[in-house]
Structure 1
Amino acid sequence: MRSIDTATLVGIAFSVGSTSLAQVLLKLGMERPAVQAAMQHGSAIPFSRAVILEPQLLTGFLLYAAASIAWMLVLGRIDLSLAYPFVALGFVLVLLLSWLWLGEVPNLPQIVGSLLVVSGVLLVAAGRTA
């Protein structure tokens, strides 16, 4: 097992941050009128065309691709059992981004749950790097 160095931590942060931002962009893109109309049409061809032409959706897909590359680099440097718990931070980041950009105000259980997630990730990371 190798410990987490700065480059690996940056890779983790980039991957988790990119996938979280991608989720927000996918949500925003799916709410666009052209995409909604294509979904109502019920056919895969108009929907696929609308998705391809929607910049927010394309950007979300590209962020997922970049995050996947960064994640592969992370996995090449540290144990999966050390790296993977950090993915849970995406739940917290999506909650925060959804509040800031989408106006989805978190409720008390979501806030408490997010604090538990962060605590759990810190506990796992501290136990593996000690």
Structure 2
Amino acid sequence: MTDGKLGWLHERLGTVVLWALLIGFESAGQIATKVGGDQLGQMDFSLKWLMAVAVTPGVWLAIACYIAAFFVWMLILRRSQVSQAFPLSSLVFVGVLLGSWLGLGEPISVLHWVGVAVIMGGIALLAEGEDT
């Protein structure tokens, strides 16, 4: 391979890795927020609740995931136009759906799976129109 082809491959591979990280961090952040909320239980909003939030592991994991996702998103936007990148971020819906099903044991209806297919189809259509 020539240096030009290797550079293109390296850039594409790097972009795919960044997208995988973004989807992973964003999805994990959503699921960790759910877990953190469950860990808190049924408490009214109060100073006691805020103190409990501050020591809840699920909340801290969610915060860490969102911070990581923010920095990955910045790296993605350095490589992409926001008009192309933002629609692709809808893959997070798919990640959250799969994570809640596999990790939390939540039931997923046929309609949800149809929604996943629609999202994937929309992303395929967007990718088809992408300038190369």
TM-score range for the pair, normalised by the shorter chain length: 0.7 to 0.9
The number of residue pairs the alignment matches comes to 123
1:36 aligned residue (35, 38, 41): 41
Instruction: Report the Cα distance in structure 2 between the residues aligned to 1:68 and 1:119, rounded to whole angstroms.
Output: 26
What does residue 86 of structure 1 align with? Answer: 88
What does residue 23 of structure 1 align with? Answer: 30
Tell me by how many angstroms 1:81 deviates: 1.4
Structure 1 stretches of at least 4 aligned residues deviating more than 3 Å after TM superposition: none
- TM-score, normalization by structure 1: 0.87
Question: Unaligned stretches of 5+ in structure 1?
Answer: none
Higher relative contact order (CA 8 A, sep 6+): 1
Tell me by how many angstroms 1:18 deviates: 0.5
Which is greater in Rg? 2
Identity between Structure 1 and Structure 2 (%): 34
Question: Unaligned stretches of 5+ in structure 2?
Answer: 1-7
Q: Give CA-to-partner distance per residue, 1:95-130, whole Å, 9 cap, x none.
A: 111111111111111100111101111210121145
Letter aligned with residue 38 of structure 2 = E
What does residue 98 of structure 1 align with? Answer: 100
- TM-score, normalization by structure 2: 0.85
Structure 1 segment 105-120 matched on structure 2, within 5 A: 105-120=107-122
Q: Give CA-to-partner distance per residue, 1:25-69, whole Å, 9 cap, x none.
A: 11011111xx225x23x31x2122111101111011111000000
